[in-house]
């Protein structure tokens, strides 16, 4: 195993590229901490990794009963759409909340041993990303092996399914960028994690999880079609809203998403323009979050 040379640096001396190079030299530590977190999380659990899927399945079941049957909203296979949207949301929510306390929980170690301060945060996000990818594998089985017996044959996956790694990468950058800000704030102000928890609960209803982004385009509350179109475009500029919509579009072919007996509303096709916008915004958030985190990390050990 190659040894890592640790050089003393003055606060504020290294630039962003130097910080990234140093982080790359410690990449083995990110992997080790992520594996450790994965082993500890379900160490004494019988079902193990399957708990990462059972939780979302149960919540989607409850939401499907409430929205699909009680409110009679959405298509007949609403549970599949909800689960498809709920999985990326769970990854974002869990990763941001776990990362917010990742550095704080390792603070005693950071005061004794030197390693890049962003490593606990990135290891936490990587561990959550592994859980998310495992959940997607289970969703593949649910979508093409289980739902055909309930809702009929879904047909072959759309060709946009090949973009799945790109969408995951965009979501990872967005999640890490937000987590950099939240974690840096939470080290000094622990009220931040409570504010973030409430903000995420509010954000849940702003994303197309219980409904579809197309419902905004066809909303009857906005009578002007031009305003509806602008509202729809502005809504999808939010990279997280686009990510949730994109997962629905790559797992489902274009089909009717309105309730039975209602006017037919077709799901929108995959739009590469929104992908480019989401990728750009997510990358900017990642870079600015990383820069802000690096500007504050030398003060972490000064916290009493």
What are the structure tokens assigned to 129, written together?
Answer: 């990303």
72 close to 258: Cβ distance less than 8 angstroms: no
pTM for the model stands at 0.86
178 close to 98: Cβ distance less than 8 angstroms: no
- Cα within 13 Å of Cα(70), Cβ side: 7
Reported in sequence order, the residue ranges of the chain that DSSP labels E, i.e. its strands, are: none
207 close to 244: Cβ distance less than 8 angstroms: yes
117 close to 300: Cβ distance less than 8 angstroms: yes
CA dist., res. 274 & res. 96, Å (int): 23
Q: Which residue has the higher pLDDT, 202 or 61?
A: 202
Summarize pLDDT for 10-43 with one digit per residue, the tens: 444 567 888 888 888 988 989 998 988 888 777 6
CA dist., res. 151 & res. 142, Å (int): 12
Summarize pLDDT for 229-279 with one digit per residue, the tens: 899 999 999 999 999 999 999 988 777 776 655 667 778 888 999 999 999
Q: Please return the burial class of 218, using the count of CB atoms within 10 Å of its CB with bins 0-12, 13-18 and 19+.
A: middle
CA dist., res. 287 & res. 166, Å (int): 18
């Amino acid at each position: 195993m190659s040894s890592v040379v640790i050089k003393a640096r003055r606060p504020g001396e290294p630039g962003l590229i130097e910080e990234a190079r140093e982080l790359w030299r410690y990449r083995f530590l990110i992997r080790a901490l992520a594996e450790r977190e994965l082993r500890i999380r379900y160490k004494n659990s019988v079902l193990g990794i399957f708990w990462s899927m059972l939780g979302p399945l149960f919540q989607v079941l409850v939401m499907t009963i409430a929205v699909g049957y009680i409110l009679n909203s959405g298509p007949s296979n609403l549970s599949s759409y909800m689960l498809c949207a709920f999985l990326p949301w769970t990854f974002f929510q869990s990763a941001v909340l776990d990362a917010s306390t990742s550095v704080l929980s390792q603070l005693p170690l950071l005061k004794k041993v030197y390693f890049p301060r962003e490593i606990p945060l990135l290891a936490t996000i990587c561990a959550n990303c592994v859980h998310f990818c495992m959940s997607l594998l289970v969703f593949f089985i649910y979508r093409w092996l289980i739902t055909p017996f309930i809702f009929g044959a879904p047909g072959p996956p759309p060709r946009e399914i090949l973009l799945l790694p790109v969408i995951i990468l965009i979501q990872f950058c967005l999640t890490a960028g937000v987590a950099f800000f939240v974690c840096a704030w939470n080290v000094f102000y622990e009220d931040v994690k409570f504010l973030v928890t409430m903000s995420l609960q509010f954000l849940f209803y702003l994303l197309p999880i219980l409904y579809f982004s197309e419902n905004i385009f066809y909303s009857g509350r906005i009578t002007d079609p031009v305003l509806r179109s602008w509202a729809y475009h502005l809504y999808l500029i939010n990279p997280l809203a686009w990510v949730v919509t994109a997962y629905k579009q790559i797992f489902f072919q274009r089909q009717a998403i309105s309730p039975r007996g209602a006017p037919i509303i077709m799901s929108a096709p995959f739009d590469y323009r929104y992908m480019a916008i989401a990728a750009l915004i997510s990358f900017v958030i990642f870079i600015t979050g990383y820069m802000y985190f690096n500007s504050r990390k030398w003060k972490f050990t000064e916290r009493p």
